[in-house]
């Protein structure tokens, strides 16, 4: 192997890493920017309604599971460092002991689930399956983490916390629709942002067919 060929690989990896870091930083900034309009606290709820969940969904649907989750983690790291990047100018470690901390954890998991599913919906990225999986990640997974933390920290029954979360459903459903149509346009214009993968059960079906 020549010297030129041995040096080409590290350079390619450097370019890829730099691009990935730039994408992660851009989407962390996008999520932060979506907090600028502020937050609403419906009926005195301890968790605000915010546009930032839209940025979380977009991160997973456009960057994929790993980079989407990392963009959310980067935002949360900056928040923990004291930057007021959450809606309403919230920041600092106090955020992570408040009732909304479960939803922040859910953001990371939700972006990962959306990205995982999106990789398996590509390259076609059909709208109906995308809507379903984005709702599972951006609503179901986020609420799965958020509701129990609200109940535990606020000292209210789990059922009451779940009923309170219903106030967020209409807005989050709209964010799901926006995410899917934005992601569809992005993946059509820039294919290759997420490497397409197959569903786990598809691999098992192929293996079973080959062994039959």
Cβ atoms of 65 and 29 closer than 8 Å? no
SS (H, E, C) 104-125: HHHHHHHHHHHHHHHHHHCCCC
Whether the predicted pLDDT of 86 surpasses 50: yes
> What pLDDT, on a 0 to 100 scale, did the predictor assign at position 202?
76
pLDDT the model gives residue 137? 98
What confidence score (pLDDT) does residue 207 get? Answer: 54
Taking Cα atoms as reference points, which of 122, 121, 171 lies closest to residue 142?
A: 171
CA distance 89 to 36: 8
Alpha-carbon distance of 11 to 19, in angstroms, equals 12
Distance CA 67, CA 171 (A): 25
CA distance 147 to 99: 9
Statement: residue 8 has pLDDT above 50: no
Q: What angle do CA 205, 208, 117 make, to 5 degrees?
A: 20
pLDDT (0 to 100) of residue 205: 55
**φ/ψ bin of 9: left (φ > 0), alpha (ψ from -120 to 50), beta (otherwise):** alpha
List pLDDT tens digits, range 129-175: 999 999 999 999 999 999 999 999 999 999 999 999 999 999 999 99
Q: Please give the distance of CA 177 from its chain centroid, rounded to a whole number.
A: 14
pLDDT single digits (tens) 15-68? 558 999 999 999 999 999 999 987 777 756 677 889 999 999 999 999 999 999
Tally of CB atoms within 10 A around 131: 16
Phi-psi sector, 43: left (phi>0), alpha (psi -120 to 50), beta? left
Map out the domains of the chain as residue ranges: 12-200
Of 5-19, 102-116, 196-210, least confident by mean pLDDT is 5-19
pLDDT of residue 11: 43
The SS3 of residue 49 is strand
- Tokens for 19? 């691009």
pLDDT at 203 over 90: no
113 near 66, Cβ under 8 Å? Answer: no
Domain 12-200 has CATH 2.40.50.100: no
- pLDDT at 177 (0 to 100): 98
What's the confidence (pLDDT) of residue 82? 96
pLDDT for residue 14 is more than 80: no
């Amino acid at each position: 192997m020549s010297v030129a060929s041995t040096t080409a690989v590290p350079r390619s990896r450097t370019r890829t890493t730099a691009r990935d870091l730039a994408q992660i930083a851009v989407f962390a900034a996008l999520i932060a920017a979506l907090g600028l309009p502020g937050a609403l606290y419906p009926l005195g709820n301890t968790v605000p309604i915010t546009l930032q969940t839209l940025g979380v969904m977009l991160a997973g649907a456009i960057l994929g599971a790993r980079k989407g989750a990392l963009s959310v983690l980067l935002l949360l790291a900056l928040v923990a460092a004291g930057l007021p990047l959450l809606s309403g100018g919230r920041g600092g470690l106090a955020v992570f002991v408040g009732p909304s901390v479960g939803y922040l954890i859910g953001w990371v998991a939700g972006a990962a689930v959306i990205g995982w599913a999106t990789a398996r919906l590509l390259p076609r990225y059909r709208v109906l399956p995308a809507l379903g999986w984005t709702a599972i990640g951006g609503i179901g997974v986020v609420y799965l983490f958020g509701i129990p933390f609200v109940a535990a920290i606020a000292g209210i029954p789990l059922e009451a916390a779940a009923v309170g979360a219903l106030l967020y459903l209409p807005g989050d459903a709209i964010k799901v629709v926006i995410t899917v149509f934005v992601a569809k346009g992005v993946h059509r214009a820039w294919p290759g942002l997420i490497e397409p993968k197959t569903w786990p059960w598809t691999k098992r079906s192929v293996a079973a067919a080959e062994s039959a």
